[in-house]
A and B are shown apart, each in its own frame.
Chain A
């Protein structure tokens, strides 16, 4: 599904943040991406999400060479990738329902055509009774679940989650992890960027560890 071959990246004239990174993310796979702060986890996620171009190496994403993907093709490919940001990035002036429905709305779909799907998904993530609430009054865990629901509404082929449990208590972190495992069982590949060892110990999954810009993989 996604393949990196000897990928390197540097910002401007600075040193290489990622060096000779190679891996393959198959369909329906589940993996953790870990490493100390500043090791390049977010940068690697940005490469996976096509918001950065590598300075060298080859990235093949859904069978397409990254360097040949045009600006106009990006939105269509991005719709196959769900992203959960560490800081949630919910729009404060839209309700939880509207935030989750946003990816469908920007595609120009009629609200009536997706209403039941959004409601169902919100119930699935446990926000059925918080649909018409604005994000500023949601708790950290609720915001995180709303962000996950938004990333899932288009049924992406892969979900990238940047520190999804970074802002929640251990009990809620376990609930969120169970949610992501359930999602993976339903067929979506999952990459969780985290430095929470406790979280990783809860699941037998592939670990991709970044250190000094290099990637080690522990299957």
Chain B
């Protein structure tokens, strides 16, 4: 009786064990099937990897060009505003002219105009220091007819009426000459505009070359996938489905390449900016700063890099879409 009971328990344990093993085997089999599905578009081949590399290089070059144009544009704008921020009144000495009184009168005239932030007479000592390199330290200002200067600092946004100021100065102080640096500013504006226009033209050419290279590289990478498009087409996939699969794949690949190129360009800008900030005060640093300011491309430059990256990724996806649709049209004659 006890033996029979023990046997029944052992059998039921064995049955439970068998059930658990079978359930485990089934679960394992299901897990194997349920693992992540392989993407329909095959992984990148040599042409695909070459496409990513080409996109990275072209994005890098485009972003460098964009950064250079941004730098030139910002520097040109700085040149203009710095010069346009000041005007000078020069009073030439003359027989019987009380220079100090003439300076005070001219300052009063200039200060009366709106758009003038400050008016400062360049003192005798300062004038002497200015002339020292040419006339030596033993200069006696009273022995020479040295003209004196008044620096008028102006608001570049709300500029004073220089014509009216010039006319009033001519009446109040006949020996005063107002120089609003118009000639210099005009020349600089023309030069800056030309530089920026050339930069924009170079950028446009660079972006066009990038676009064409990306299109050809994408088409090259797509050429190896003709059989996949055909199979999907013959198993009843809709054109939009096929295009979506390829678009997603190449958008990711293009974004990868473009991001690498863009980040490399940003690293170059950051390194240059760091170099220029470390070299402030050294002759080479001053030279670079004189030409390019602080070598920083600013927020607009970084945003531009981001935009180039997005544009190139979008171009890759669009090219893929157009290629897939054209291929489908061709096999569906």
Residues on A facing B (Cβ under 8 Å) = 49, 51-53, 71-72, 74-76, 78-79, 83, 85, 89-95, 97-98, 102-103, 105-108, 111-112, 115, 119, 131-132, 150, 154
Contacts and interface: CB of A to CB of B under 8 A. Distances in A.
B234 A51 contact: yes
Interface stretch (B16-24, B34-42, B188-196, B273-281): B34-42
A146 to B, nearest CB: 12
Given A51-B332, A53-B333, A71-B332, A103 B235 contact: yes
Given A51-B234, A105-B37, A154-B236, A89 B333 contact: no
Interface in B227-264: 227-228, 230-232, 234-239, 241
Contacts of A102: 40, 231-232, 235
A107 B236 CA distance: 8
B293 to A, nearest CB: 52
A108 B38 CA distance: 15
Given A51-B331, A105-B37, A91 B42 contact: yes
Nearest to B41: A93
Please classify how large the interface on chain B is, using the bins under 10, 10 to 19, 20 to 34, 35 or more.
20 to 34
Given A91-B228, A93-B43, A95-B38, A119 B236 contact: no
B32 interface: yes
A89 B235 CA distance: 11
Contact of B239 (A49, A71, A91, A105): A71
Contact of B234 (A49, A72, A76, A97): A49
A49 B232 CA distance: 14
A105 B33 contact: no
A102 to B, nearest CB: 5
Given A71-B239, A106-B241, A98 B37 contact: yes
Given A75-B237, A105-B37, 5 more contacts: A53-B333, A72-B238, A89-B231, A102-B232, A115-B33
